[in-house]
Structure 1
Amino acid sequence: MASSQEIVDFICEQIQDAGEIRSRKMFGEYAVYCNNKVIGLICQDSLYIKPTKAGRAYIGVPTEVPPYNGAKPYFLVEDQVEDREWLSELVRQTEQELPPPKKRTS
């Protein structure tokens, strides 16, 4: 089951205070970007955040599961998706720890 556009829009609205937020449909699911860095995925209407040391410290004991078969584990955000401030801070801390995106070569 692919994620619904309504869920993607809701999550992007929830984290808009973290930076420049956008989503991109990929393979039937969605990548979520903050300041041009992929910070997570939305798969089957669930939010998965890339694991970072800062994110782990902020969450405490995260639930780590792969967003799709064959993927590395990500932090699964469940009930906290309703908490705009908490979620925006998690995204902000995650984005700050991730390296800048690689330049594309033609």
Structure 2
Amino acid sequence: MASSKEYLHYILEQLSGLEEITYRAMMGEFILYYRGRIVGGIYDDRLLVKPVKAALSAMPSAVYEPPYDGAKPMLLVEEVDSKEFLTGLFTAMYSELPAPKPKKNK
């Protein structure tokens, strides 16, 4: 099942307090970026984030779920209705996220 644009826009609205939130559509789902770094994504209308230490400490009882069959499990964010929680989560996670790989020249 692909994610809906309505759910994407809801999550983007919840994160509107942060600058540089972008997304990329990929096979019916959406990859979320914060300041150029991949934070997670929206898969089957679920917000999943990378399981970095900051996310684990903010959501100690979070459930690991794979975004799609065969993928590494990510953390399911259940508290999507709190702007304050989501912006704090993304801000705390930023320093632990890998920097984007430089693009190779063709």
Same fold by TM-score, threshold 0.5 exceeded? yes
Higher helix proportion: 1
Q: Percent identity?
A: 40
Consecutive unaligned residues in structure 2, runs of 5 or more: none
Count of residues in correspondence between the two structures:
105
Q: How many Å apart are 1:51 and its aligned residue?
A: 0.7
Root-mean-square deviation over aligned CA pairs = 1.1
Counterpart in the other structure of 2:11:
11
Q: Secondary structure at the match of 2:17?
A: helix
Normalised TM-score (structure 1) = 0.92
Normalised TM-score (structure 2) = 0.92
Q: Which runs of 4+ in 1 moved over 3 A?
A: none
| Structure 1 residues 16-38: Cα deviation after superposition (integer angstroms, max 9, x where no partner) | 22331011101111100100111
Q: How does 1:46-85 map to 2 (within 5 A)?
A: 46-78=46-78, 80-85=79-84
Consecutive unaligned residues in structure 1, runs of 5 or more: none
Counterpart in the other structure of 1:43:
43
CA distance in structure 1 between the aligned counterparts of 2:41 and 2:98, rounded to whole angstroms: 17
Counterpart in the other structure of 1:91:
90
Q: Secondary structure at the match of 1:8?
A: helix
> What is the letter of the counterpart of residue 48 of structure 1?
L
